Structure 1
């Protein structure tokens, strides 16, 4: 028969110092143990914390009360979000504090991503609706075929947006293309809206640029749609282009009233003071996010009697048309 193993008088709890959460243990209302993470959080070493009342260590009545009652709560402390959990019985209590700042930040980013996706999906879905409504009517075969091709293009665009769910929202399919290619796509997609508002749309000189075609189209559609929505009805919308060193500057001009605080327009969930109707306030935020993704800049300025919403994108050496 093997001899019984003698247990140590005090259980070895050094493992508690390896935990990332701050742990505070109490007995009869006084602190018995704080782990290494708790020492970093409250700045009170074990030798000073042991035997002291809880409040002298945590210095927050909310945490003292949580220990007395048990349960869970979140605290905002110096820009950090702390999730605090307390368990207790008549004698022994434990307080566990976990820094969930990064987790909460990721949650906010996911909500932002969902809002961005919702906005980006709206344009191809609207275009598809228009195509299907048009195909309900009898029309020449060649015209119907054009509508079918346009619908297929938008389905492909939707498929690429679905792929973006996994790879993020930065441009990932950049290629060299003439601006005129994107101008033509934008004009085709906005044709019905232009006719309905009695507005005209003109484009500046063509240049070769380096960008993701779908992302560039999204930027243009957002800016042109804003110009049609907030500019005077029936007024022309002009898209100008210019070379700025190795960059190409594109500006969408409308004849709307001067805008006051232009910088805040590019923030998420922000709309101009004169904006009416429904809107997510995400359009210009998406524009800036996409443009910054390829290293460009966005801004708003007054040009004559027009508001100019400008952005830059990489030009291609030579700036000539593709062969």
Structure 2
């Protein structure tokens, strides 16, 4: 035994102030020599719960308590671990008999990456509708037609171009507060009917809209909700059947329901989660449509849900009303 009380050959802990810079690092750092720990910094003490005076001289496994990290330190390299709900990026380096293990908490970074992917998926889904509408307008304008009809197509194209411009602004500077105004539901219904006319004709479906109400909403967001719900009904409902967009006053709110005669949906609530599609969904899809619907509706304080009403699937949402028409 030496005067320090440690077995002969055990590395001595650093004196106060020695290598103090290492304790200021946010990453957990563990240093070894000959397979034994020579130093742990303050972040490592917090991570593994083993103070410096107890860690020095111990085998690595006794401190980190994970064979994965022990192997990483022996071989070198990098890996990520999920520990207690946190994501840790671990790096092992070795020079001769000396080695270092550096562990960084990247949980917040990974969460921001996931949020960015989610925002990108939402935006790509929202871009799809105006782009498709513009394509239809341009294809129509290739043919000779009466001047008034051509002007109508041009107005539609300009309207969708404005929608695209607003989406680009949102992408560039972040999602801004809603551009809400008072409008009759019939205005949004007319836009949706015009944009979906080709799909409705192809599916030989009758699209029926309910009673008009004055509401308070962002017109583009309301249109996006209607398009997503009606497109779903067109996609999954039987051909040749009617799709009804029903409306009803619910106190100070207005309830809108898109009803189709598709097969019952066993777990409709799960469809409102991001990147989720029904088990019988065919073709390609992002699984973001109903997630976007609920996100938009909750943004103006409403609710969005699905239920079975007699022989029909009903996808419903509420939005603020502003009293009766007329």
TM-score by length of 2: 0.91
How much has 1:278 moved relative to structure 2? 2.1
1:69 to 65, 75, 92: 75
Distance 1:119 1:9, change over 3 A: closer
- Structure 2 residue 290 is matched with structure 1 residue 284: yes
Match of 1:232 in 2: 238
Is contact 1:171–1:294 with CA below 8 Å preserved after alignment?
Answer: no
CA-based RMSD:
1.8
Match of 1:81 in 2: 87
1:33 to 27, 32, 39: 39
Match of 1:222 in 2: 228
- Structure 2 residue 49 is matched with structure 1 residue 13: no
Question: d(CA) in 2 for partners of 1:290 and 1:169?
Answer: 12
Secondary structure at the aligned position of 2:246 is classed as strand
Structure-to-structure mapping, 1:95-114, within 5 angstroms? 95-114=101-120
Aligned length: 313
Match of 1:5 in 2: none
- Structure 2 residue 191 is matched with structure 1 residue 174: no
The runs of 5 or more residues in structure 2 that have no matched partner are 1-13
Question: d(CA) in 2 for partners of 1:236 and 1:169?
Answer: 36
How much has 1:86 moved relative to structure 2? 1.5
TM-score by length of 1: 0.92
Question: d(CA) in 2 for partners of 1:130 and 1:103?
Answer: 41
Question: d(CA) in 2 for partners of 1:110 and 1:150?
Answer: 31
Secondary structure at the aligned position of 1:19 is classed as coil
Question: d(CA) in 1 for partners of 2:27 and 2:76?
Answer: 17
Please list the CA deviations of residues 235-265 of structure 1 after superposition, one character each: whole Å capped at 9, or x if unmatched: 1111111122222111101111211111111
Match of 1:153 in 2: 159
How much has 1:15 moved relative to structure 2? 2.1
Match of 1:297 in 2: 303
Match of 1:3 in 2: none
Structure-to-structure mapping, 1:114-193, within 5 angstroms? 114-169=120-175, 172-193=178-199
Please list the CA deviations of residues 174-224 of structure 1 after superposition, one character each: whole Å capped at 9, or x if unmatched: 222221111111111111221222212121222222221111100000000
Match of 2:260 in 1: 254
